[in-house]
Amino acid sequence: MSFAVLATARRVPTRPAPAGLAHAEPLTPRERDVMTLLAAGRDIREIAEALAIGGKTVRNNLSNIYRKLGVRRQTEALLRWLSIGEAQPST
């Protein structure tokens, strides 16, 4: 994850995880791919190109991810995803 994203993420307050998040629907393999690329600093267009899918499909994946993680913003999704151990920031 880029330092700029981490710096921004630290300034954005997050809401507590919704009750039962531990039992929430897991991310699909494709959603995990999207999050991995997002954590690497890729934008929607770059994610779409890397995964050979359309930008609208990436946005739909992100909407599903936000719902599953109980967040509203990209930065919150990244923080939550990292906090539940789904990914490790790249160095």
Calpha distance 57→61 (Å, rounded): 6
CATH fold group of domain 3-14+29-83: Arc Repressor Mutant, subunit A (1.10.10)
Query: Side chain identity at 25, as an amino acid letter?
Result: E
Give the tens place of pLDDT for each residue, 36-65. Answer: 999 999 999 999 999 999 999 999 999 999
Give the tens place of pLDDT for each residue, 61-84. Answer: 999 999 999 999 999 999 998 887
Is pLDDT above 60 for 3? no
Calpha distance 84→76 (Å, rounded): 12
Domain ranges of the chain: 3-14+29-83
9 CB contacts (<8 Å, ≥6 apart)?
Answer: 75, 78, 79
86 CB contacts (<8 Å, ≥6 apart)?
Answer: 27, 32, 35
